[in-house]
Amino acid sequence: MSKKNNSNYETYSEFKNKFFHKIFQNIIFVARKKFFFYFKNHTNYTDEKSVIDIGTTPSLDYEQNVFLEKTKNNKRVTCLSNQDCRILLEKYKNIKEIIIGDGKKTNFSNNYFDIVHSNATIEHVGSFKNQIAFVKEMLRITNHYVFIQTPNRFYPIDFHTIIPFIHWLPKNIHRKILKLFKMNFYAQEDNINLLSKKELIKICKILHINQYKIIEHKLFFFTSNFILIIKK
């Protein structure tokens, strides 16, 4: 992830003041518990394995760091974010290391971690080219599995803006409409670039990834999120 003037945490703090926050807080919590179920059952995760969470959020809110809640007994957890996440050390004493850095270009050696995990981050790294670089770097530093969760671009509601359907339009038109709505942060590709299943498959093809699966997580009968699991 590249450093931005406005952090995702700041935008989440603004979202917490909105009317719909309590509703989506519970939806997010239930979904992320399910995401961890997918993670545990498709990566052979145990508390003895080394894992890095790329895109960690510097928030103590329970629904924002379900992954850290579920890995409290693992002393080999590393967190990487473009934000300062040291506040998390107050609650999660097991964290081995917290790093401020760029998920597209880390300083770790090849095959450094058993598992590389990223939740709702790839849509925030910028262009499609950046998203390819992000996946490529995750694949480089793992020796076994990559786990990526991201919202489905074609779910009826974009949970970032809470606006239905306009994100189905061509991306340049979608961004122009967001500017009309004074949502300048989300109108920038650097801050949000939603992905479809077709685009996830395209990333895997470009990187010559053959061993992967995409799980479609449903919410109200529609696919709300994709979970891309790559086996190295």
DSSP string for 23-37: HHHHHHHHHHHHHHH
Tally of domains within the chain: 1
Burial status of residue 174 (CB atoms within 10 A of its CB: 0-12, 13-18, 19 or more): buried
Residue 105 domain-assigned?
yes
Residue 182 domain-assigned?
yes
Residue 78 domain-assigned?
yes
The 3-state DSSP class for residue 136 equals: helix
Within 10 Å of residue 216's Cβ, how many Cβ atoms? 12
Residue 3 domain-assigned?
no
Confidence at 116, pLDDT banded by 50, 70, 90: very high
**Phi first, then psi: what are they for 169, rounded to 5°?**
-70, 165
Region of 126 please: left (phi>0), alpha (psi -120 to 50) or beta.
left
Residue 2 domain-assigned?
no
Q: The domain spanning residue 155 has which CATH number? A: 3.40.50.150
What pLDDT is stored for residue 171 in this prediction? 97
Domain that includes residue 159, residue range? 8-231
The 3-state DSSP class for residue 142 equals: strand
Residue 55 domain-assigned?
yes
DSSP for residue 212: E
pLDDT tens readout for residues 164-211: 999 999 999 999 999 999 999 999 999 999 999 999 999 999 999 999
pLDDT tens readout for residues 55-107: 999 998 877 889 999 999 999 999 999 999 999 999 999 999 999 999 999 99
**What is the SS3 string spanning 75-129?**
CCEEEEECCCCHHHHHCCCCEEEEEECECCECCCCCCCEEEEEEECCHHHCCCHH
